[in-house]
Amino acid sequence: MEVLLAEEYGFCFGVERAVEMVENALREGGGKVRTLGPLIHNKQEMERLEREGVSTMDAPEEADRETVAVIRAHGVAPQVKRELETRAAKVIDATCPFVTRVQRLTERAAKQGRDVVVVGNPDHPEMIGVRGHAPERTYIVRDASEVEKLPPLHAPIVLSQTTLKLKTFLEAAEAVRAKADAEPEVVNTICSATRDRQEAARALASQVDAFYVIGSTHSSNSMKLLSVCKEQCERSFLIETADDINPQDLKGVKRVGVTAGASTPNWLIEQVITRLHEIGRAHDAAQDA
C-alpha cells in the first residue's frame, strides 16, 4: 500500500509561531506560563506543553502577578486583553497575524461608520474575538442563507474567518450585495495556509482510494479539510492519532493519502504515517499467504 502525503500539511505559520512563543516563555521563566483557553486546537500538543509546565486558564480573572499570560492564536476581544494586562505579570500576544488583520479591518470599518459582515462560525474563539473589536456593527454569518436574515447594511465590508472554505465566503459575499446600500468591500481574509492545505488535499484526494485528515473535531480548519477531501474521495476519515486508524477501512486500498490540520504537530503526523505503513505491510503479507 502506497502512502502519499499532501504537498502542504500540518502546522501553519500562526500556530508554529504561537507554540514557539510559549516555549520561549518557558525558557525565560519569570512566572507561571498560562494560556487563556487552549493555545491551539490539538489535545495531544496541549498535553505535551502541559508536561513542559504550561497550564490553561478559562478566564482573565484567574491570572495573578505570578502569571505570564498567553493570548492564543485565535485572538481575543480588546477588553479581554486589557483585563489580562491589569492582572498578569506579563502578557504575550500570540494571536495569528492573519487573525490580527481581520480584527484591524473590522475596527477600521466600524470607525468609519460602516457595517461589518464576517463569514464564519459565531461560536468559534476567533470570531468571538473579532466581534469584540466592533460589537455594535459586526455581524457573523455562517453562510449565504444567514445573510438573508440581516437588516439593511450600510457600506459594508465583507470578511472571512481565516479557516473558511473559499466557496462559502464567495457565496455569502454575493448575498451581502442584496442587503447593502452601496457596493460592499469584499476582502478575502482566508489565510494562505488554509487555502494551500485545502488545494493540496483536494488534488491528492482525487488520486487515492482512502484519505486521512489528522486533526481535531474542534479544529475548524481540520473539519474543512475533511469536507474538501470527501468531495474527491468518499473514503475520507478524520483522526486525532494513529490509534484511531481502523485497519479494516484500508482493505483493498492501493493508495492512501494523508494531510493534517494547521494545529497538528509533525510528531503526530509521523506516527500516523508509520502506522499506515505497518498496516500496508500486514495487508500485503496476508494477501501473499
Query: Which residues neighbour 74 within 8 Å (Cβ) at sequence distance 6 or greater?
Result: 37, 95, 96, 99, 124, 125, 126, 129
Low-confidence ranges of the chain (pLDDT < 50): none
Separation of alpha carbons 223 and 94, rounded Å? 23
Q: So what's the pLDDT on residue 288? A: 65
CB 225 within 8 A of CB 196: no
Angle between helices 192-205 and 220-232 (to 10 degrees): 30
Which class is 2-10+192-288 in CATH? Answer: alpha beta
Q: So what's the pLDDT on residue 289? A: 58
CB 33 within 8 A of CB 56: no
| Same fold for the pair 2-10+192-288 and 98-186 | yes
CB 225 within 8 A of CB 197: yes
274 is in an annotated binding site: no
233 is in an annotated binding site: no
216 is in an annotated binding site: no
Q: So what's the pLDDT on residue 150? A: 96
Bridge partners for 118 per DSSP: 140, 159
Active-site residue (options: 126, 136, 183, 234): 126
Domain boundaries, the chain: 2-10+192-288, 13-96, 98-186
CB 126 within 8 A of CB 75: yes
Q: What is the pLDDT of residues 231-261, one digit of tens each?
A: 999 999 999 999 999 999 998 899 999 999 9
Q: So what's the pLDDT on residue 30? A: 80
Q: What is the pLDDT of residues 20-63, one digit of tens each?
A: 999 999 999 888 999 999 988 888 999 999 999 999 999 999 99
Secondary structure class of 255 (helix, strand, coil): strand
162 is in an annotated binding site: yes
Indicate the fold that domain 13-96 takes in CATH.
Rossmann fold (3.40.50)
Active site residue 231: no
CATH 1.10.1740.10 is the classification of domain 98-186: no
Separation of alpha carbons 214 and 244, rounded Å? 10
pTM of the prediction? 0.83
- Closest to 208 in 3D by CA, of 232, 239, 237: 232
